[in-house]
Amino acid sequence: MTLVTVLGWVAAAVGILLGLPQLIHLIRTRHTEGVSLIAWQTLLVLNLMWAVHGVLIGQWNMIVTNVFALFTTVPILVLMCRHRGLSLTKVLLPSVLAAGVVVAIDLAFGPAAYGVAALIPGTMVNAAQSVELVRSRSIAGVSPAFLVGAVLNQALWLSWALLVPEVGTIIAASLAIVITAFNLLWWGVRRVGVRAFFPYPERQAVPELAEG
Task: Tell whether 199 is covered by a domain.
Answer: no
Ordered DSSP codes for 41-92: HHHHHHHHHHHHHHHHHT-HHHHHHHHHHHHHHHHHHHHHHHHHT--HHHHH
Return the axis-axis angle of helices 111-135 and 167-191, rounded to nearest 10°. 10
Largest Cα span, the chain:
55
Residue 156 sits at the vertex; the CA angle it makes with 132 and 67, to the nearest 5 degrees, is 75
What CATH number does residue 93 fall under?
1.20.910
Task: Tell whether 208 is covered by a domain.
Answer: no
Query: What pLDDT does residue 212 have?
Result: 40
pTM assigned to the model: 0.83
Task: Tell whether 160 is covered by a domain.
Answer: yes
Ordered DSSP codes for 130-181: HHHHHH-S--TT--HHHHHHHHHHHHHHHHHHHHTT-HHHHHHHHHHHHHHH
User: Which tens digit of pLDDT belongs to each residue from 58-95?
Assistant: 988 889 889 999 999 999 999 999 999 999 999 999 99
Task: Tell whether 169 is covered by a domain.
Answer: yes
Task: Tell whether 203 is covered by a domain.
Answer: no
Residue 134 sits at the vertex; the CA angle it makes with 131 and 137, to the nearest 5 degrees, is 115
Task: Tell whether 97 is covered by a domain.
Answer: yes
Task: Tell whether 196 is covered by a domain.
Answer: no
User: Which tens digit of pLDDT belongs to each residue from 93-152?
Assistant: 999 999 999 999 999 998 888 888 888 888 888 899 999 999 999 999 999 999 999 999
Total domains, the chain: 1
* Cα–Cα distance, 80 to 88 (Å, whole number): 9
Query: What pLDDT does residue 3 have?
Result: 84
- Domain residues for the domain of 75 are 21-191
CA atoms within a 13 Å half-sphere pointing along the CA-CB vector of 142: 27
* Cα–Cα distance, 75 to 106 (Å, whole number): 28
Task: Tell whether 92 is covered by a domain.
Answer: yes
